Structures are given as C-alpha cells and as structure tokens.
A and B are shown apart, each in its own frame.
Chain A
C-alpha cells in the first residue's frame, strides 16, 4: 500500500497546510467552491477544513446529479413507471429521491415495476429479454454518465431494439457554474473543478470562468492531499494575480477530455433550451435531450408525460445548500425532520449530497462551528 500513503501522508498534509497558510493575505477571507459531490464527501470524511486556516472556507456546489433532479421530473418518471406495460430501470441512487408524490421506492411498493440496474446496458438487456414490455431507463447524471446513455441508445438503434427508451435527465455542469457566478448571493474566489466530469469534457471548457469571470479553477483529484494541493494552487494563483485553469488531477484527467465520449453525446443529444434544477430554478442550456433522429428512444416522445412543475418543499433549503449559500447544518430541518432515512431534500439522499455527507461524517459539531464562527 505504498502508493496510497503518498496521498494520505499526515506530514505532507501538515506541510501543505503550513504553505497554504503562508499564501493567505492577512485579513482576507477566501471562499472556494468545490463543484463536485465527490469532493464534498472527501472534505467531510477527512476533515479537510481542519487543515485550513480560518479565513478559508470551502463551499459546496451543485455537483450531485441526484440532488438537482426537480420533483416534477421524479413525478413524471413515476407516471411512466406506472403504465401497465412498463418496466422502469434506474440507478440505485435515484430510488429514494422524493418527488411531489413519493419516490421510486414508494411507487415500487405500490406495484410499479421499477428495477435497479448498474448500467444502462443492463436496462437494454432487460428490454431484449422482455419484448412484450416497454423498458425505460431513467437517465441521470452529468457528463460522466451521459456518454454511457448515448452509447446505449446508439446500440439500441443499431440492434433495432424497439421497446427501449430513455427518460433523459442528463445535466451539464458549466451552465450551473455560470448561474452560480451570476447569482448575487455569493462571492467566490475560485473553484475546485470536478475530477470525473473533467475526464470527459477536459479542462478547456472552464476557461470562461477564468477569463470572463476572473476566477481561478483547479481540477482536483479525490484524495485528501489532492484537495489540499488544489487549495494551495488556487491561493498561489490569487497571490500571483493569475486566474487560469490548472489540472491537479493530471494522472487521470487528460487536458482535452475524452473525444469519443463527447462525440457520442453530441451525436445523440443536444442542449435543452432550459431545464429546472432543484433548488436553483430554471437554467438555460443546462441539460440534454435527444436529437430528433433518436425520438424513438426518447421516453418524452414515446410517452405522454404530464410535465408538471412541483415547488420544492417550503422547509427545504437545498437550493441554498446547492449554491453554497448555506452550510448543511444551517438548514432549518437538517438532522431533525430531514435525515438520510427520511429525506425531505435531495441533498440528504445521495451519499454525495452535501447534507448526507455532513450528516454521516460531520467532523465538527454545530456547537464547535458556533464557537469557530463566534
């Protein structure tokens, strides 16, 4: 396990922490957003904030695909799943996400045929084995999973599988980052860029953040030292008056991304004019839909979908958490009415949601936070 320790070494972490502290301008407050839920998870699990000086805060971004699915889309999916000849297939993460009228688990308990799958290709296989049923795959996720959905639809088309379609809820990360940058609620100093999304889109598309908005961005890995090093790189840029895209996770993320993955997304899908994100509202060009040529595999063409909009529960402050305006524990229902067992908001559903990550690993108690912020 020699390799692994390189990313976990406590001495290295302390050295980095000291160097981070020395880069901070006295009296200045720094706010960096980690866009990806995987990073949020590492930050809470390893108490990364404990290594940072008090004037640096990490705020959690919207990069948890399960967390941003609006309630109306869950209701639409359940409507499809409730058709008598339909088998709905979904990643396990989606099963507990509440819509206005319950979750997939609730619908399954009420008799709908909803099956968990590991891969959209498994959903396609279910379609092949059940020619008398219509099989729908609940497509969710950012650019990490969109290529898989695209590949699966291309395969369905190539094999002429007519009883398979996808309810496409794929979203794209850049418009959400732009919406956050345009939001008056939050002043950010830089971004910790998503690791896995960047394996697909590469590092270039972030240049509007560093250019138009003048905020540095560092694509980061998921180990504790990766995150500390990324914070260090962000501070070094700010100290030198630079704002550039840098790649801390070069051992996995190629600068140009994965050309094949981008090609299959572009071949089968196009941006929607707008899409609703839970808590964030409607964001232009922030999601994908199938191109007309693939309408036969598009559940929105195949089925009559109600398409209703359901307001987020009043008590839920996921929107503020997703934008980084509130920390999870500052939400009124956190840990009381809203827990991983009985989530009100989506941030509490996925293990990568900021609320669930904090609930499960919360390093410092609310009391300590109060003390720290006093």
Chain B
C-alpha cells in the first residue's frame, strides 16, 4: 500500500481519466485524474499509488525505483499480485 510503483504509460483513454500502464509486464488501468492530462503521453513514466498515478518521473528514476522495489522481495511481490487483481475502469 505504501509502495509507489513506476509504470510506463501505454495508452491514455480518450473519454475517461484512465491510462493503461505497463508495470514489469503487467498491464493494468490506473487513474490519472490527479495529474495534468495534457502533460502525459504514451511512453511517459508515472509513479502509481494504489491505482492512481501521483507523479510523473523520468525513465532513469523509474528504473532505479524498480530495482529498489525488486530488492524488497515479498512486499513488492505482494503489491504486484494485488495490482494483477486490480480491475479499475
């Protein structure tokens, strides 16, 4: 819950504040209503908290964060498992 997971935006939905993101191969919808939609595009990285993109980050930061998260082991696995179950629309 406390983990911020980096995801790469694959697609921004035209009619809703949602984006499909790729998080280490898992593709899920996240809400982008807390960010400036105009400032987001496919290929951008965002930090995701509990289904909401909270900040835009660059790729270097995303890679660093991913590696740190992978080092967490179980806590990160649980978070990704939870994300896998998520069906936000």
Give chain A's interface residues, CB within 8 Å of chain B.
1, 3-4, 6-7, 37-38, 41-42, 45, 64-66, 91-94, 116-122, 125, 140-141, 144-145, 147-148, 151, 196, 199-200, 222-223, 251-254, 258, 260-261, 264, 350-352
Contacts and interface: CB of A to CB of B under 8 A. Distances in A.
A147 B54 CA distance: 9
A252 B61 contact: yes
A261 B51 CA distance: 14
Contacts of B89: 125
A119 B3 CA distance: 12
A151 B51 CA distance: 11
B64 A93 contact: no
Contacts of B1: 65-66, 91-94, 140-141, 145
Interface of B: 1-4, 31, 33-36, 47, 49-52, 54-55, 57-61, 63-65, 67-68, 71-72, 74-75, 78-79, 82-83, 85-89
Given A120-B50, A258-B54, 8 more contacts: A4-B64, A121-B51, A145-B49, A145-B50, A148-B31, A199-B47, A252-B57, A252-B61
Nearest to B78: A92
B51 A223 contact: no
A118 B4 CA distance: 12
A121 B87 CA distance: 8
A251 B52 contact: no
B14 to A, nearest CB: 18
B2 A38 contact: yes
A223 B64 contact: yes
B83 to A, nearest CB: 5
A4 B68 CA distance: 9
A125 B89 CA distance: 9
A64 B2 contact: yes
Contacts of A252: 47, 55, 57, 61
B82 A92 contact: yes
| 8 smallest beta-carbon distances between A and B, as pairs | A119-B51, A3-B60, A91-B1, A351-B75, A118-B82, A118-B86, A93-B1, A121-B88
A301 to B, nearest CB: 23
6 contacts: A45-B72, A93-B1, A122-B86, A151-B52, A260-B34, A261-B54
A114 to B, nearest CB: 14
Contact of A144 (B51, B54, B58, B83): B54
A151 to B, nearest CB: 6
B60 A45 contact: no
Contacts of A41: 72
B34 A261 contact: yes
A165 to B, nearest CB: 18
A120 B33 CA distance: 14
Contacts of B50: 91, 118-120, 141, 145, 148
A65 B2 contact: yes
Nearest to B74: A351
A117 B89 CA distance: 14
B80 to A, nearest CB: 10
A200 B54 contact: yes
Nearest to A36: B2
A258 B67 contact: no
B2 A93 contact: yes
A332 B74 CA distance: 27
A118 B47 contact: no
Contacts of B3: 38
B77 to A, nearest CB: 11
B88 A122 contact: yes
Nearest to B60: A3
B2 A37 contact: yes
Contacts of A125: 87-89
Contacts of B51: 118-122, 148
Contacts of A352: 2, 75
Contact of B33 (A37, A251, A253, A260): A260
